[in-house]
Structure 1
Amino acid sequence: MLTIEEIFPPYALCITSGPVQMRVLRDDDIPELVDLVRDGVQPPGLPMPFLSDWHAQPFRPGSPGGFPSESLAWWWTQRATFAPDEWRLALTVRRDGVLVGMQDLHARHFPQARHVETGSWLGLRHQGQGTGTLMRRLVVGFAFDELGAGSCGSGYIAGNLASAAVSRKTGYLPNGVHRVVQHTTDGPVGVDEQRVLVTPATYVRPDAAVSVEGADALRRFLAIEG
């Protein structure tokens, strides 16, 4: 009998450095993830970091709408639509075995473009410990070293000093300001998003050794061998 990792190779991916380990989100992670979101994600006094305030929706388990139902639909959709032309790795981030946040890696037409987009968040009580910088360095290094990416883009809402610091410490450089719309419970709001870009020439590697498992199978699954 085949294992689930052989059927869906993203599940075999494991990126580890020091106390931090990242794997693709599984259903078994979801209860812990829901608790993490409910404990808080957004620091007080800083701008809302997402394009949608999914993290602040009413808590309605087992009911349509609200959290976590709408977030579940998003997480499951990422697996259902996984394909070489467009894919999104939703990576759980654990520090010393405890789930502390999520790190996304997203690409369209990667075999031709060799470009990925990154995004991440940490639970509020796990912020300020260096985990945000390490997880971003790990996923960018994975994109460059294992997938052969030529560039990684990201962005943060103007005024989000924590996200700006993570980007800077990873080697991202300013890449223009875009006007975007955030969807909140009070309606759509126009805000400035600072775009940033990191390349192998500017990338800052983690201080500790990095271990990657499952990259070969993932490359075959994404049709990006070589």
Structure 2
Amino acid sequence: MEDWSWPLHGIRLRTADLDLRVMTEADLPVLCALLPDDLSMNPHATRYAGLDDRANRRAVLVQGYWRALGLWSPDDWALPFVVRSGGDVVGAQWLEGPDWRSDHAVDSSSWLVPTARGRGLGKQMRAAVLALAFGPLRAETAISSAVVDNASSLGVSRALGYRDTHRSVLEHSGETLQHVRLTQASWLASDHARGIRVEGVTPALPLFGIVDPT
């Protein structure tokens, strides 16, 4: 029988300290066990009566993974990575193209276990997926957002060249979001991709609507 694998799972990103691979079902139990209590989850996700808060948070994570790969299309996709340092899982990094073939813009989100914070890993994680986005995926812009008092997330964005654009208010919490944006030109003019290895992307390019990799 011919060997078969889902092309997305061949994508691998490596930085000085991190190894990012596309999430698989086998990763879910470990990620659920490590899910930080202070991570803000999707407020619109289904919550189940009879499950405690911890179990509901795990359900949001698992169903988010299934939804991302199960509903994948070149027009609207979400690519979840498991982040490892020294072989140990330390977090997750998402890269998303919610209106990809229309605007070629990517968004991102991530989390780290508490013991891995404060070591510059958040910047490496984001830089890794930006190297993928602005490299073989040919993104034109990257956007992100964080509540105004989330200094760590906004610090990562600004350190990588994002610029503030506007603010908005979250309906469910009343918190103020700061939105930021990074252009392809700014990324390519920087040296943030130096030392980042992006591997295994070519077989997956048709899933992003890219039929000519040249």
TM-score band, normalised by shorter chain: 0.7 to 0.9
The answer (yes or no) to whether the contact 1:170–1:205 under 8 Å persists in 2 is no
Give distance in 1, aligned partners of 2:126 and 2:37. Answer: 17
- How many positions carry a matched residue from both structures? 204
Cα separation, partners in 2 of 1:22 and 1:4, compared to 1, 3 Å: farther
Q: Does 2:84 correspond to 1:94? A: yes
The percent identity for this pair of structures is: 25
Residue by residue, what CA displacement relative to the aligned partner does 1:94-137 show, whole Å, maximum 9, x if unpaired?
11111111111111342332111111111111110110001101
* Structure with a larger share of its residues in strand: 1
Give distance in 2, aligned partners of 1:180 and 1:162. Answer: 19
Give the CA deviation at 1:175. Answer: 1.2
Q: Does 2:200 correspond to 1:214? A: yes
Q: Does 2:184 correspond to 1:200? A: yes
Q: 1:17 aligns with which of 15, 18, 22?
A: 15
Which secondary structure state, in structure 1, belongs to the residue aligned with residue 170 of structure 2? strand
The two structures have a TM-score, normalised by structure 2, of 0.87
The answer (yes or no) to whether the contact 1:89–1:104 under 8 Å persists in 2 is yes
Give distance in 1, aligned partners of 2:159 and 2:19. Answer: 19
Residue by residue, what CA displacement relative to the aligned partner does 1:52-104 show, whole Å, maximum 9, x if unpaired?
398xx6234xxxxx242332122111111011111100111111111111111
Cα separation, partners in 2 of 1:21 and 1:147, compared to 1, 3 Å: same
Aligned position for 2:61: 71
Q: 4+ residue runs of structure 1 moved beyond 6 angstroms? A: none
Give 1:86's aligned amino acid. Answer: D
Q: Does 2:165 correspond to 1:191? A: no
Q: 2:33 aligns with which of 8, 32, 35?
A: 35
Residue by residue, what CA displacement relative to the aligned partner does 1:167-216 show, whole Å, maximum 9, x if unpaired?
111111101101123xxxxxx32111100001123234447512222211
Give the CA deviation at 1:51. Answer: 4.8
Residue by residue, what CA displacement relative to the aligned partner does 1:136-182 show, whole Å, maximum 9, x if unpaired?
0111121001100010000001111111111111111101101123x
Give distance in 2, aligned partners of 1:150 and 1:118. Answer: 14
Give 2:134's aligned amino acid. Answer: F
The answer (yes or no) to whether the contact 1:176–1:195 under 8 Å persists in 2 is yes
Give the CA deviation at 1:217. Answer: 1.2
Give distance in 2, aligned partners of 1:26 and 1:196. Answer: 30
Q: 1:131 aligns with which of 121, 129, 133?
A: 121
Which secondary structure state, in structure 2, belongs to the residue aligned with residue 167 of structure 1? helix
Which secondary structure state, in structure 2, belongs to the residue aligned with residue 52 of structure 1? coil
Give distance in 1, aligned partners of 2:121 and 2:12. Answer: 17
Give the gaps of 5 or more residues in structure 1. Answer: 43-47, 61-65, 182-187
The answer (yes or no) to whether the contact 1:18–1:208 under 8 Å persists in 2 is no
Aligned position for 2:49: none
Give distance in 2, aligned partners of 1:49 and 1:144. Answer: 27
